[in-house]
Structure 1
Amino acid sequence: GPPLRVVTTINGRFVSRGQDKISVFDNALLYAEGLFETFLAIDDRIIFMKEHLQRLYRGAKVIGLKIPVPADRLSQWITRTVRAHPDRITKLRLTITSGESARFVGRQGKPQVILSASPHRMPQVPFKLWVSDFRIDQDSIFRRIKTLSYAIHAAALKQAKLKGCDDALLLNEKNQVAEVTSANIYWVDKGRLFTPPLSAGCLEGVTRKLVIKEAAKLGLKITEKNSTLDGLLKVDEVFISSSLKLVVGVSHLKVDKKTHAIRQGPITRLVSDHFRRLVDMD
């Protein structure tokens, strides 16, 4: 098919294909030193922008990265990049690199702020999840923030696609359910709603926070609870949430050669419909 229409800005300036380059000595490339956020935009509205930027600046403090622009300026850059894209629904990826490495260039370079808007299709059907054999370290401080170090997640996703699944479920080193490669996970058991605690090693998802808050408005209390994989295979409903997917049901969990079907239930539908309304999806 034709190449995807992508609109890119670097440090606030529009760049065309071929000019969208950073230094081969950037620490982001050499050591995955940097941060990223992914936003959903609908009709040029950037969904939950404030919450994403709060997490970004919090992450910058943790890794000692100086973001070269204040949040209000960065949000202007984000809005401008999204507006330049013709599609109604776009995904926007923000990457902040830590700049050229002093070790290789003799001085510490300036962080680069890269924004790219591209077409996005919301998931239409429930997800099949492959249970990955990669494990995440639940005790790492870096599990709290979105650094560029996503090799485990990328490898697990690639593995899942090869197995004919949509995404991969990751367990932590204690064999507890943690997260999906780019989403948080929830389950319904005997009418009650659960999600792993942050101590399980899952990312503190922007959408996760909102699911917990919004579920309360629907009369659903979410309890944070650890679960084994065996426990997850026995529940009534499973769904996932992320900025780009909002809320999507899970229809199958594939473990080795065995595929376990999961019923599509009313609570998943309730939360999913609520989120579509919340962001004016339709």
Structure 2
Amino acid sequence: MSSLVNALTLSPMIWCNGNFLDDGSGLVELTDRGLLHGLGAFETILAVDGVVQHESRHRARLQDAVDRLGLPDLAELDLNHIVAKLCEHNHCVKGKARARVTLTAGHGAMDAITSSEDGKIFVQVQSYVPSADLPHLITLPWRRNEQSPLIGLKCASYAENLLALRYARSQGADEGLFFNTRDELCEAGMANVFLKIEGEIFTPPLASGCLPGVMRSAIIDVAREQGRVIHEAAITRAQLAMAEQVFVSSALRGIVPAQSLDQRLLSGQPFPVMIP
């Protein structure tokens, strides 16, 4: 009996549609369009000591997905309260934790871009220890479509990004960089990208097709407050080859300098803007 009690105590709690649950199995129906067609969205969020970081930025991006894909309403999603309780139950209230919010559309006709009554909102939390290693980058052989109707959304249909990550790792790298159909730098498979060229900082504009990253926008805002200019501009392959430094940014890791790009060693120096 004691082993059963311990197992239940240690099982990770999740939140789904207003309820805290000790077991999330079987909650997504086989008819859910999030499962069948990838009609869903998600956010990966950093919590520190149980406190959600950049909550308003994450919520705004989720709301954009709700509006464009017809996903469940966010009215019940008190993210700060939910993540704090999950961190406490899942033994990650101290230090860093990784929270994931997932939205699915529920059942419905294939051409219906509206949420049904059984659409789901899940929140999961687990402890998070970022890697201390600086990433090695390569350019990817595939292009991002900057005119896709999914641009700007962090969609549940994530296979393209996973294939990019697998390819990068098969080549001995950690992450890959996408160019778009105009042959302009877009983003990394799971991060935004910044460059330092002749002392100036550049990042691809949203028109490149890159995700409007939470950390990306925070970095640009902080740089502006500190009187630093970050140029949002189209970046060619020739300009990327000129970069003295390349950085990747994400909500979990912040902004990290790369060790190399296509086997060309980079300085690995920290980003020149102090991010609180």
Q: Which bin holds the TM-score, normalised by the shorter protein?
A: 0.7 to 0.9
Which residue number corresponds to residue 241 of structure 2? 233
Matched, 1:270 2:272: yes
CA shift in 2, pair 1:211/1:138, >3 Å = same
- The one-letter code matched in structure 2 to 1:261 is L
Which residue number corresponds to residue 98 of structure 1? 105
Q: Equivalents in 2 of 1:18, 1:238: separation in Å?
A: 40
Which residue number corresponds to residue 144 of structure 1? 152
Matched, 1:44 2:44: no
User: 1:134 touches 1:170 (CA, 8 Å); kept in 2?
Assistant: yes
CA shift for structure 1 position 232: 0.7
Matched, 1:222 2:222: no
CA shift for structure 1 position 44: 0.5
Q: Equivalents in 2 of 1:169, 1:102: separation in Å?
A: 36
CA shift for structure 1 position 208: 0.8
- The one-letter code matched in structure 2 to 1:96 is L
Q: Equivalents in 2 of 1:17, 1:64: separation in Å?
A: 27
Matched, 1:13 2:19: yes
Greater than 4 Å deviation, 4+ residue runs:
none
The alignment of Structure 1 onto Structure 2 pairs a total of residues equal to 261
Matched, 1:73 2:78: yes
User: 1:8 touches 1:20 (CA, 8 Å); kept in 2?
Assistant: no
Q: Equivalents in 1 of 2:29, 2:156: separation in Å?
A: 16
CA shift for structure 1 position 72: 5.6
Q: Equivalents in 1 of 2:172, 2:194: separation in Å?
A: 22
SS at match of 2:78: helix
SS at match of 1:29: helix
Q: Which runs of 5 or more residues in structure 1 are unaligned? A: none
Which residue number corresponds to residue 187 of structure 1? 195
Given the two structures, how large is their TM-score scaled by the length of structure 1?
Answer: 0.85
Matched, 1:84 2:89: yes
CA shift in 2, pair 1:16/1:130, >3 Å = farther
CA shift for structure 1 position 138: 0.6
CA shift for structure 1 position 270: 3.4
CA shift for structure 1 position 51: 1.1
CA shift in 2, pair 1:128/1:147, >3 Å = same
Percent identity of paired positions between Structure 1 and Structure 2: 27
Which residue number corresponds to residue 264 of structure 2? 260
User: 2:12 touches 2:89 (CA, 8 Å); kept in 1?
Assistant: no
Q: Equivalents in 2 of 1:66, 1:210: separation in Å?
A: 26
CA shift for structure 1 position 108: 4.4
User: 1:134 touches 1:152 (CA, 8 Å); kept in 2?
Assistant: no
Given the two structures, how large is their TM-score scaled by the length of structure 2?
Answer: 0.87
Q: Among residues 122, 126, 132, which one is paired with 1:118 in the alignment?
A: 126
Q: Which runs of 5 or more residues in structure 2 are unaligned? A: 1-9
SS at match of 2:242: coil
- The one-letter code matched in structure 1 to 2:58 is H
CA shift in 2, pair 1:202/1:43, >3 Å = same
